[in-house]
Amino acid sequence: MDSDTILRLVREVPDHDGFPLVDDLHARFDALAAAHPDRVTVTRIGTSRLGEPLHSYRIGTGSHAAVIVGGVHPNEPIGSWTALHLAETMLGDDAEATALDVTWHIVPTIDPDGMRLNEAWFHDPYDRVFYSRHFYRPAPDSQVEWTFPNNHKSVYFDQVLPETLAFMRLIDDTEPELLVSLHNGEMGGVYYYLSEDLPDVIDVLHAVPRALGLPLDTGEPESPHLRELAPAVFAMDGVEEVHDYLEGLGVDPAEHIHGASSAAWALRHGALCMVAELPYWSHPDADDQTPTDESYADLLRRCADDLGGSGAELQRVLDAASPMLTIETPFLQGSRAFIPMLTATPETDRARAEREPADRMATVAERFGCEDLVRCFRLRYGGMLLRALEAETTAGTASAPLRRLRDDLAERYALWQAGAVTDAAPIPVGTLVGVQYGAILACASHVADPARASRPAMVATQRSGGA
């Protein structure tokens, strides 16, 4: 499939109002299977922690296997529509399906339990304040994406979740040539992770958002250790590189690294792995390379102080509330994991700042990225802690001191909400799906290219942890 065809297809992706709820998403896939019994094979691959069946939908009979998994982080539902659109397209146009010569194994959501805890904002994903107030993200050791086995130097992890085991089983059974776990971010522009340095694929990854009017995110990368293959395209490095980077900063890697990723497991089978990270809201500063009058080192220190201060405020509330909490909700479990991270992360940023040249000025994009990360984490994890306290007030188990703590936190949270960026532009859901869909087609076209067998792979990373 050539790039012109891919760009035409992404422009044809329909728009949507919000995101499908879990039951609706499953019903839509089941309806596809019922309508095409000779072309869709449904396989149960496991069971969620709360007892929900996990299914993979096999579509096509191509000679190249691709695994596409949604809901790896349950607060990232753009992939729900992407998975459904991919399934519908491959079932609806024989010419396109035949051109790719791919057998698709699609999991609509691998963490339905976690996704249900975000459903309150799915009908209106454009309001960041409302989104954050009803936000849920599992603690790191409860995230499907980051609970694959890992054994590297000081880090050992084998607390594999049932959902992760199902994911592992699917990868091992299909031995895919392509793995795409469907992620998204929040604010800024589009960026990607790719396990191989593939100029032909990267050209399309750049062309797709440009064709849809979205900027690339060329500001502060998601993690400081990332290697850039091209603007807004990063090598999908594993925990080995993260470990060595943190060790070089004098930071204990065991405090920051736990399980490995789905890509680490799929690379054992030689898969090309790709992630397209998409924002709900765009902002012109995300792609502005104009230098500011603040050094990059000072920017890191300033934002580290802001983030650490916010983390300390939340930690004081959590510490005061903990003896009075009687309901062990996922919101409380997440708060106990993430709030200490807010106070620990600044240590790494301050160590980074010491290594930056004093005369290296931060760009507008870097400033926006660093500052918005502080806003994002305040809103996310302040909202989750509020949900944990409200579980008690709603159930009628909250003591008077706990109710006062809840009110105090709500007042502080309202100030953080007032500080949210107000000039960000919400992006149509169909446009976001188009970027993700186009990225999948670009990678699928690459793995299905007959000429690929005669070309050596340009490997961006090799992961050994996770055996």
CA distance 341 to 311: 8
Asked if pLDDT for residue 195 goes beyond 80, the answer is: yes
Range of weakest confidence among 7-16, 292-301, 352-361, 395-404: 352-361
Q: Quote the percentage of the chain above a pLDDT of 70.
A: 94
Q: What are the structural domains, with CATH classification, of the chain?
A: 3-283+426-454 (3.40.630.10), 286-418 (no CATH)
Distance CA 427, CA 355 (A): 37
For 151-177, write each residue's pLDDT tens digit: 878 778 899 999 999 999 999 999 999
Which pLDDT tens digit goes with each residue over 271-302?
Answer: 999 999 999 998 888 888 999 999 999 999 99
The answer on pLDDT for 254 being more than 80 is no
Number of Cα atoms under 13 Å in the Cβ half of residue 72: 28
Of the CA atoms within 13 Å of residue 69, those in its CB half-sphere come to 30
If residue 151 lies in a helix (H) or strand (E), which one and from where to where?
strand 150-152
pLDDT per position as a tens digit, 294-310 = 999 999 999 999 999 99
Which range among 90-99, 335-344, 431-440 shows the weakest confidence by mean pLDDT?
90-99
Q: What is the pLDDT, as a whole number, of residue 135?
A: 95
User: 274 - beta bridge partners?
Assistant: 180, 194
What's the pLDDT score for residue 238?
Answer: 74
Measured CA distances, 230 to 148, 211, 216, 275, 289 (Å): 28, 18, 11, 15, 15
CB atoms within 10 A of CB 37: 9
Confidence band for 239, pLDDT divided at 50, 70 and 90: confident
Label residue 192 by pLDDT band (50, 70, 90). very high
What are the strands of the beta sheet with 281-282, ordered from one edge?
A: 187-188, 281-282, 425-426
CA 119, chain centre distance (Å): 17
